[in-house]
Amino acid sequence: MTEERFFRDEQNIAFWEGVARNELRLKKCSVCGVVLAPGATFCSECWSSELTEMKASGYGKVHSFVVYHRAFSENETPPYGVALIALEEGPRIVSAVTGGVTAHVGDDVEAVWSVAPTEGPTLSFSVVNEAGWKRED
């Protein structure tokens, strides 16, 4: 039996619907304008629950990075990289990093969408160099 790798519920359904359309969807506070991570239910600045959906650029920087040498799921083949991505819009999200395990803190990244046979649409990030080209390892 294949375990579900990504948790989906009513709080993040718009995010996953966006991933299926190759879009990165975030939430934005209607009161103060703060941009929030996909699963937010209220604003972390003004505590308002008046949130709207917005399309993000799909760009960010690696804030933290780890290489896993052990598979924590049958869907993973070690070694694989996981990063905390600081999105251009402000929030940080945890994501897989494609193209090997050579990301570094401060690297520019862009969203990459794919469809995994057992998981459906997925989002990961790929490192880009200064000229905007994806880095090939």
State how far the alpha carbon of 24 is from the alpha carbons of 27, 73, 101, 118, in Å.
10, 24, 23, 21
Residue 111 banded pLDDT, cuts 50, 70, 90 = very high
The two tokens of residue 51 are 């949130």
Phi, psi of 103 (to 5 degrees): -70, 155
What does pTM read for this prediction? Answer: 0.80
Whether the per-residue pLDDT at 53 is higher than 50: the answer is yes
Cβ-based neighbour number of residue 18 at 10 Å: 22
Give the residue with greater pLDDT, 135 vs 113.
Answer: 113
pLDDT of residue 54: 94
Please check whether residue 68 is in contact with residue 58, taking contact to mean a CB–CB distance below 8 angstroms.
no
pLDDT of residue 127: 92
Residue 123 CA, distance from chain mean position: 6
Whether the per-residue pLDDT at 130 is higher than 60: the answer is no
pLDDT of residue 80: 85
Please check whether residue 77 is in contact with residue 114, taking contact to mean a CB–CB distance below 8 angstroms.
no
pLDDT of residue 118: 65
13-32 mean pLDDT: 87
- Point out the least confidently predicted range of 5-9, 20-24, 80-84: 5-9
* Mean pLDDT score of the chain: 84
pLDDT of residue 9: 66
pLDDT of residue 137: 45
